[in-house]
């Protein structure tokens, strides 16, 4: 008998839980303790192996200090395209998480804008000259 694969929405919601938990510097154990469950259950939630019930998701949103809508993009429709999945993967990576934390720690909006401009410039500099459409996309986002 073939093992059932996780539903893409469950994987997405679980990944959002993971991203927020890690952004706050909270361990799986810490979240599990606050929920009164095992860290293995948190692992299953974050992988999308187990679905998170409504009341449990509400409690997780309270603990992680985000509105329930945080776990659902576009009003609950989940991921809508490859770009969303790419962004989600980046935010889940060690580098993405570190960059996100560092950026949030910058309080001056002018410095934030300069950092965004620098990142766009570096991204555009690394693109081949033949890829002008992608270059325009990077510079205009």
Q: Give the chain's end-to-end CA distance (angstroms, integer).
A: 47
Structural tokens at position 140: 């205009």
**Average pLDDT estimate for 99-126:** 86
What is the rounded average pLDDT for all residues in the chain? 81
Q: What digits encode the pLDDT tens for the residues 14-59?
A: 989 998 998 888 999 999 999 999 999 999 999 999 999 999 999 9
Dihedral angle sign, alpha carbons of residues 81, 85, 91, 96: negative
In angstroms, rounded to a whole number, what is the distance separating the alpha carbons of residues 121 and 59?
41
133 vs 31, higher pLDDT? 31
pTM for the structure as a whole: 0.62
- Is the predicted pLDDT of residue 134 greater than 70, yes or no? no
Structural tokens at position 68: 């329930």
Q: Which long-range contacts (CB under 8 A, 24 or more apart) does 116-125 make?
A: none
- Is the predicted pLDDT of residue 140 greater than 60, yes or no? no
In the chain, the largest separation of any two C-alpha atoms, in whole Å, equals 57
> Assign residue 33 a region: left if phi > 0, alpha if psi is -120 to 50, beta otherwise?
alpha
pLDDT at 2: 62
- Is the predicted pLDDT of residue 104 greater than 80, yes or no? yes
Distance of CA 126 to the CA centre of its chain: 25
pLDDT at 76: 44
SS3 80: coil
Percentage of the chain lying above the pLDDT 70 cut: 77
Domains and CATH numbers, the chain: 8-71 (1.10.260.40), 89-125 (no CATH)
Residue 28 near residue 21 (C-beta atoms within 8 A): yes
In angstroms, rounded to a whole number, what is the distance separating the alpha carbons of residues 137 and 141?
6
In angstroms, rounded to a whole number, what is the distance separating the alpha carbons of residues 125 and 120?
8
Q: What digits encode the pLDDT tens for the residues 77-93?
A: 444 455 556 776 777 78
- Is the predicted pLDDT of residue 98 greater than 60, yes or no? yes
């Amino acid at each position: 008998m073939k093992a059932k694969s996780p539903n893409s929405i469950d994987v997405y919601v679980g990944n959002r839980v993971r991203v927020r938990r890690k952004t706050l510097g909270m361990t799986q154990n810490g979240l599990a303790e606050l929920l009164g469950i095992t860290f293995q259950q948190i692992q299953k939630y974050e992988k999308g192996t187990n679905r998170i019930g409504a009341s449990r998701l509400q409690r997780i949103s309270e603990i992680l200090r985000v509105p329930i809508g945080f776990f659902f993009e576009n009003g609950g429709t989940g991921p809508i395209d490859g770009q969303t999945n790419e962004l989600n993967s980046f935010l889940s990576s060690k580098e993405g998480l570190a960059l996100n934390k560092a950026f949030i720690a910058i309080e001056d909006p002018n410095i934030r804008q300069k950092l965004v401009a620098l990142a766009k410039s570096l991204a555009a500099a690394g693109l081949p000259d033949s890829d002008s459409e992608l270059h325009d996309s990077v510079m205009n986002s």
